[in-house]
Amino acid sequence: MTILEVSNLTKRFGKFTALDGVNLELHKGEILGFIGPNGAGKSTTIRVLLGILKATKGDVTIFGKNAWSDAVEIHKRIAYVPGDVNLWPNLTGGEVIDLFIKLRGSSNKSNREEFIKKFDLDPTKKCRTYSKGNRQKIALIAAFSSDADLYILDEPTSGLDPLMEKVFQECVMKVKQQGKSVLLSSHILSEVEKLCDRVSIIRQGSIIETGSLSELRHLTRTHLVVETKQPITSLQELKGVYDVEDSEQGLTFQIDTDEIDNVIRHINQFGIVKLESAPPTLEDLFMRHYDGSDEHAHTGVRGEH
């Protein structure tokens, strides 16, 4: 079942095109990672999803309803955590949490206490005294103690310490087990790797890559370190081999995943002493897309330049 569907979403601010034909899909019980550099359009997309910005073109539906015209109905089943949580300086954390839960419609006091404890927050302090991380905790506590079907999290952990990040990851996994869906926009790629079932990468207002992590890995290169009895010759001439370097540990290079077979056969002739391979990380994938000079970017639609 599709919870969230964005098709061909375009958003212009005057002449500036912030989003140019974005497509997203989120299924029930799934965690979708939404990654991209600053200014790529992550937050703009999310603000359209929330009905705060009106789409210039394209369809945005959540729970089968229109994100703009049915915003209030949709929001009853959504929990949103912004990346920059600006709060009212003269209200206490506890008051804000209660307010947020109440404004959504439902109220669940026992949940609230549990999450305040989990995130280790003192709710009696005024918001002006909270650090960025603590303000984020308030938004997270309000989000997780409400009984939502879709969680929209926009860089929710940028101010949290590693301990709290772990608590956050547990919370996300727990809502997933309950069959809820999550849209997680993040810079922290290890977090996305750990949590997400699928990933969409946005660049300059367009989605350039979507798929499960294993699908995406297929599109990228594996990192190899090789030591052989005889020096390897003519490695560079092989198809799909890049960045060959001689280091103390041996020869390091990267290969296109679908060329692994050929390359290993070639190396085998020289007598392998050591062979280490590292799977491509999301970071490699990400870097490859944002290097700019990448001649191998092949799939997906690219933004206009």
Partner 1 sequence: MASNSFVKAGVLIRLIIRQDRMRISLWLIGLTFFTLVVPVAFSNLYGTEQDIAGIVETMRNPAMTAMVGPGNLENYTLGAMTAHQMLLMTAAVVGLMSILIVARHTRVEEEDGRIEIIRSLPTGRLSYLNATLLVLVGLNVVLALVVGFGLFALGIENMEIVGSLLYGAVLGATGLVFAGVTAVIAQLSDSSRGTTGLSIAVLLIAYLVRAIGDVSNQALSWFSPLGWVTKAEVYGANNWFPVILMLVITTILFIVAFYLHAIRDLDSGFLPSKPGKKYASQFLLSPIGLVLRLQRTGIIAWAIGMFVLGISYGSVLGDLEAFFAGNDMMEQILIQVEGYTLIEQFLPMLMIVMALLATVPPIMAMNKLFGEEKKERIVHVIGRAVSRSQLMISYLIVAIVNGFVMLSLTAIGLWAAGTFVVEGGLDFSTIYLAALAYYPAMVVMISIAAFLIGFLPKLLSMIWLYVFYSFMVLYLGGLFQFSDWVGQLSPFGFIPQYPVEDMKYFPLLLLILIAIVFMIAGVFGYRNRDIL
Looking up tokens 């929001």, which residue turns up?
A: 75
Q: Which is nearer to partner 1, 146 or 181 (CB)?
A: 146
Q: Which is nearer to partner 1, 105 or 279 (CB)?
A: 105
Residue type, 93: G
Q: Does 117 bind partner 1 (CB under 8 A)?
A: no
Sole window of 102-110, 155-163, 229-237, 290-298 interacting with partner 1 (rule: CB under 8 A): 102-110
Q: Which of 95, 147, 165, 227 binds partner 1 (CB under 8 A)?
A: 95
Q: Which is nearer to partner 1, 71 or 235 (CB)?
A: 71
219 is written with which tokens? 């599109």
Sole window of 66-74, 177-185, 207-215, 267-275 interacting with partner 1 (rule: CB under 8 A): 66-74
Q: Does 90 bind partner 1 (CB under 8 A)?
A: yes
In this structure, the number of other CB atoms found within 10 A of the CB of residue 105 comes to: 12
Sole window of 20-28, 78-86, 166-174, 227-235 interacting with partner 1 (rule: CB under 8 A): 78-86
Q: Which is nearer to partner 1, 92 or 254 (CB)?
A: 92
Q: Which of 1, 14, 86, 237 binds partner 1 (CB under 8 A)?
A: 86
Return the residues of window 152-211 that contact partner 1 according to CB under 8 A: none
CA–CA separation, 14 and 7 (whole Å): 21
Q: Does 75 bind partner 1 (CB under 8 A)?
A: yes
Q: Does 16 bind partner 1 (CB under 8 A)?
A: no
Q: Which of 28, 59, 88, 279 binds partner 1 (CB under 8 A)?
A: 88
Q: Does 126 bind partner 1 (CB under 8 A)?
A: yes
Q: Which of 15, 72, 162, 177 binds partner 1 (CB under 8 A)?
A: 72
Q: Nearest distance from residue 285's CB to partner 1, in Å?
A: 31
Q: Between vectors from CA 137 to CA 197 and to CA 109, what angle results, nearest 5°?
A: 95
Q: Nearest distance from residue 93's CB to partner 1, in Å?
A: 8
Q: Which is nearer to partner 1, 5 or 95 (CB)?
A: 95
Sole window of 58-66, 81-89, 236-244, 285-293 interacting with partner 1 (rule: CB under 8 A): 81-89
Measure Cα distances from 27 to 24, 62, 250, 283 in Å.
10, 11, 45, 25
Q: Which of 150, 198, 201 is nearest to 172 (CA)?
A: 150
Binding interface with partner 1 (CB under 8 A): 13, 47, 50-54, 71-73, 75-76, 78, 80, 82, 84, 86-92, 94-100, 102-105, 122-126, 128-129, 139
